[in-house]
Amino acid sequence: MPEGDTVWQAARRLHDALAGKALIRSDFRVPRYATVDLTGRTVLGTTPRGKHLLTRFEGGLTLHTHLRMEGAWKVYGSDERWRGGPAHQIRAILGTADRTAVGYRLQVLEFLRTGEEERAVGHLGPDLLGPDWNSDRALANLLADPARPLGEALLDQRNLAGIGNIYKSELCFLIGATPWLPVGALPADRAAQLPGLAKRLLEANRDRPVRRTTGLRNQDLFVYGRAPRPCLRCHTPIRVADQGDGSRERPTYWCPACQTGPGPAPPPSRRTRTTN
């Protein structure tokens, strides 16, 4: 699942390449929209909403896409070779006279009336990189279920939109709590810091080619992807375990010394069947 800053960058690439230009090529390779032809329509722009992308066209039409785990939008010059993947992975092509945007492995692709975009994104919480950002509302959303593990609450886009698995692990480290600590057990002063800290991290990285959370020259991240290497602060080996509801578990990294709170639940024991 991409982070909010990755989606923000994708939106900017699409907007810069297509906005204000008429399409000379339109191709949607999903059965539901195979006959849709936008040739001749002007692209009004692309805006991100959390991890969603909304590309608007004249006539009140919006293309809603979501990258999920493996999707990508690539932009090419008119004579440039497409290198985003094999042709069978292409789901959408939007071409102008000088740029072509190609959507690969898009797991969500649908058309909406622009006035009805809330059908797709209305459930989202405040967007960390959007004009609707509201720190107080984001904090209230996070604290609404006190028993919920912190890591799961941060990933829930209904609470605040834009945090993915990398920022989840990094934010929990920076706040000094394990991702399994119930949100309600987080001291009030640290809980209050979470929304602002998350916003600062995403804003600092939205223009960077390489994501960084540490401020260190030779190390980009504190914990994510670093198990079992030593913690940058205390040298305790970083640990990793899956976190989620079983159907959407994600690898989660933490320092057992720097972060207070419980660790992951042990796997269920296997009972040996005996016969009399």
Residue 112, token pair as written in the block: 């909406």
CA pair distance 255, 257, nearest whole angstrom: 5
Is 249 among the catalytic positions?
A: no
Q: Which residue has the tokens 């297509």?
A: 18
Burial of 111 (0-12, 13-18, 19+ CB in 10 A): middle
Is 2 among the catalytic positions?
A: yes
Catalytic residue among 2, 126, 149, 179, which? 2
Is 51 among the catalytic positions?
A: yes
Say which residues have a Cβ less than 8 Å from residue 29's Cβ, sequence separation at least 6: 90, 91, 92, 93
Residue 158, token pair as written in the block: 């209904």
CA pair distance 199, 40, nearest whole angstrom: 39
Catalytic residue among 29, 250, 256, 264, which? 250
Is 250 among the catalytic positions?
A: yes
Catalytic residue among 48, 49, 51, 195, which? 51
Q: Tell me which DSSP letter residue 242 carries.
A: E
**Catalytic residues, which ones?**
2-3, 51, 250
